[in-house]
C-alpha cells in the first residue's frame, strides 16, 4: 500500500477512534479523553513508521551494500590500480563512473526516505528512528571538512544529487518514485550541454586520485565504510550476522 494511502486510512481510523472515545466518555473526565486520544495518535504514528521502514529496508540495503562493497574494494583490495590503467577504455570508465553511481544511488534512496519521513514524528520509538540516526551520521561524514579524503559533499549537495537521481517508474500500483539505474545515469552524463553532469564532475575526477591516497589520509572513505556497516547491520535485522567492521561484503563489481 502506498504510504500516502496508508496515511489517509490511518488518519481516518484515528478520527473514528477519537469520535468513539468521545462518544463513550461523555461522563468521563477531559483528562482521560485526552489521554485516550493521545494513545490512538501514537499508535497510528508507530504503524506509519513501521511501514516506512519496511518500504525502504530492501532498496536502501541494496544501495548501501553496493557502496560499502565498492569502498572495501578500493580501500583494501586494490581495485583502482588494477582497472584504471588496464588498457580497456570501457573498464577504465566503468570503474570511475560506477563508483560515483553507487554513491549517487544511495543518496537517491535517502532523499526518497527523507521526503516521506516528513509526515512522521521523529520521536517515534521504532527501528525507523535508529535508521534515521545512522543516515544522519552518514550525512555528517560526507559533509565534514575536518575529515581527510575525497567525496566531501555538503548537505545541500547531497540532497541535490539525491533529487537528480529520482525518476518515475511503472508498477502494478501505477507510477511510483524510483532511483535511476546505471545505464540512464551514464546516458545523462554523456548528454551534450547536460545540466546533470556538472554535479558529478568533481566526484568523477576524484576517483583516480584515491589510488594514491594512503589510508590514514583517507579518513572520510574509511569512516563512511564503517558507517555503512552499521547501517547494514540495522537493515538486516538479524537475517545474517555482521561478520566484521572491516568488511561486511568484499565482492568485486
Predicted pLDDT of residue 227: 97
- pTM above threshold 0.85: no
Cβ density class 34-61: b for 16+ within 10 Å, e for less? eebbeebbeebbbbbbebbbebbbebbb
Q: Are 196 and 101 in contact (CB under 8 A)?
A: no
Least Cα distance to 14 among 33, 50, 49, 38 occurs for: 38
Predicted pLDDT of residue 102: 98
Per-residue pLDDT of the chain (253 residues; tens, 9 = 90+): 555 555 554 455 545 555 554 544 444 566 655 555 554 455 455 567 677 778 889 999 999 999 999 999 999 999 999 999 999 999 999 999 999 999 999 999 999 998 887 655 554 557 788 888 999 999 999 999 999 999 999 999 999 999 999 999 888 888 989 999 999 999 999 998 889 999 999 999 999 988 876 556 789 999 999 999 999 999 997 455 444 444 444 444 4
Predicted pLDDT of residue 18: 54
Predicted pLDDT of residue 61: 96
Predicted pLDDT of residue 46: 57
Predicted pLDDT of residue 144: 97
Which residue(s) pair with 175 in the sheet?
170
Predicted pLDDT of residue 204: 97
Distance CA 203, CA 222 (A): 17
Amino acid at each position: 500500500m502506498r504510504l500516502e494511502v496508508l496515511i489517509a486510512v490511518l488518519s481516518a481510523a484515528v478520527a473514528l477512534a477519537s469520535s468513539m472515545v468521545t462518544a463513550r466518555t461523555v461522563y468521563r473526565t477531559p483528562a482521560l479523553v485526552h489521554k485516550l486520544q493521545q494513545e490512538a495518535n501514537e499508535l497510528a504514528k508507530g504503524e506509519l513508521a513501521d511501514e516506512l521502514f519496511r518500504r525502504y529496508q530492501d532498496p536502501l540495503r541494496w544501495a548501501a551494500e553496493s557502496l560499502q562493497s565498492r569502498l572495501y574494494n578500493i580501500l583494501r583490495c586494490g581495485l583502482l590500480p588494477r582497472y584504471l590503467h588496464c588498457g580497456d577504455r570501457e573498464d577504465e570508465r566503468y570503474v570511475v563512473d560506477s563508483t560515483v553511481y553507487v554513491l549517487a544511488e544511495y543518496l537517491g534512496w535517502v532523499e526518497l526516505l527523507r521526503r516521506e519521513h516528513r509526515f512522521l514524528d521523529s520521536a517515534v520509538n521504532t527501528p525507523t528512528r535508529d535508521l534515521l540516526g545512522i543516515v544522519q551520521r552518514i550525512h555528517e561524514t560526507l559533509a565534514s571538512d575536518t575529515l581527510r579524503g575525497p567525496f566531501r559533499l555538503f548537505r545541500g549537495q547531497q540532497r541535490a544529487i539525491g533529487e537528480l537521481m529520482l525518476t518515475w517508474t511503472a508498477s502494478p500500483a501505477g507510477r511510483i518514485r524510483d532511483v535511476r539505474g546505471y545505464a540512464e545515469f551514464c546516458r545523462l552524463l554523456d548528454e551534450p550541454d547536460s545540466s546533470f553532469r556538472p554535479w558529478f564532475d568533481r566526484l568523477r575526477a576524484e576517483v583516480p586520485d584515491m589510488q594514491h591516497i594512503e589510508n590514514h589520509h583517507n579518513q572520510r572513505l574509511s569512516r563512511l565504510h564503517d558507517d555503512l556497516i552499521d547501517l547494514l547491520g540495522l537493515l538486516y535485522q538479524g537475517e545474517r550476522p555482521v561478520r566484521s567492521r572491516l568488511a561486511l561484503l568484499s565482492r568485486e563489481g
